[in-house]
Structure 1
Amino acid sequence: MHILILEDEIPAYQKLISSLNEHYSSPYTHDWARSIKDGQDLLHKNTYDFILSDIQLLDGASFDLFDKSDPNCPIIFCSAHDEYLFQAFNTNGIAYILKPFSQSDFSKAIKKYEALFQQGDYNPLNTNTLSELKSALQDEHANYKKRFVVKKPKGIQLLNVTDISMISASGDFCLATDMYGKRHPISQSLGSIYEQLNPNKFFKINRSEIIHIDFIENIESHFKNRLLITIRGAEEKVMTSSSTTAEFRKWLEQ
């Protein structure tokens, strides 16, 4: 088993290796590339059983790599981008793992690859498919905020939107909580922030809090038609307002 991993972030690469080690009991080999250039070199020199690929690499989108080098193997995309990017496309990407993923998510994707590959039941990438994927990615980039600039005592840091579990109003600014429970100040109003976020991912559950759907761990009923929500990284549960509960339920099922 020889695998190509296309991932620009070192912690994400390490997580993929950990997931592979847990899934496979027998030995496997792998190559790792963080850029289109390095990935292209590896694809020209080697053949792979399958590819684990992020969408955004150091020097561009992995779609550009697959456009230049035609990989004759299935691709499993591992990314924080919305699943809608792939729902309409018939590609080698026989599975799509949405970050942050669990071991169960990872294993399901690998098992799907194994079943389809043994049957030969997958279709190669083609120019039309790649063009549509690129167009969808450009539309997503154009519409929604990807990161916030956060001012810290030691300087300026970048906070990726995909790492935010919730955002709370705090006076004249807001606090964004990440998956590790760390809080980051954002010098904008809650309303202004909400307008910049992908509505498929973020919901304003009350007048002072926005939550990210990928970090919801549990939802329970509460009094007066409200819901108590457990968010990964948050110290306390948050609550929908009576006026938002119905819309929130619809949002969860979309």
Structure 2
Amino acid sequence: MTKYLVVEDERFAYEELKRMMQVLRPGYQLVGWAESIEQTILLLQQNKIDLMIVDIRLSDGVSFEIFEQCPVNIPIIFTTAYDEYALQAFKVNSIDYLLKPIEENELETALAKFERNHSLHSTTPQYRKLEADYLTHNKKNRFLIQIGDTFQYVETHEAAFFYSEDKYNYLHLFSGKRYIINYSLDMLEGMLDKEIFFRVSRNCIANVKAIQKSSRYFGSRLKLYFRPECPHEVLVSRNRVSDFLKWMDGIL
């Protein structure tokens, strides 16, 4: 059963969302209603939640603060009376952004998108094997990116490296441009061609063609030098050095 949480500081808006959810998804279970950032964090810590419906402006601040204090990987449908938060919502784990007053058909579209994107993400061993088998033969060959109000794609081979910084994940191209993407590095590891890309550190996955050189570093680690230059220092940990060198040598 899908469990969801509503974060909304206006009671009427909450009651209307609850009513629409009971009509559109009577099989979903409402686990709680939070009116503030503090209440939301408490409910997240106490419950297993599959989906969040979150108003952006709350009585005690902006809801993005929730995810700064309590990082979660839960799909989110954002609701708001304002449209200036669209790009920031996209950077969080959002699946849709609905402007108030919310119509049933808009909520239905968002729920369908949630189900389409997340219903297969089962934790069963059978699913994990199916997913691994699929990714073995079907590597991600392009990424959708957003620039202002427009969308475009870039080919995966254009990526010099992927890295995480300040709670965001970036795709950095050989051209020097970088874009925020909605994939964690853990997700990317399973999507990318292992002959070309390697998880060189906790916060960086590199394209072999972007690594200019590596040198020995204190603590039996390796320091990597990139072209284009990486925004932060990248060190290969001691227990990853052997695998990294084999990968550089074409041994998988």
Normalising by structure 2, report the TM-score. 0.46
Normalising by structure 1, report the TM-score. 0.45
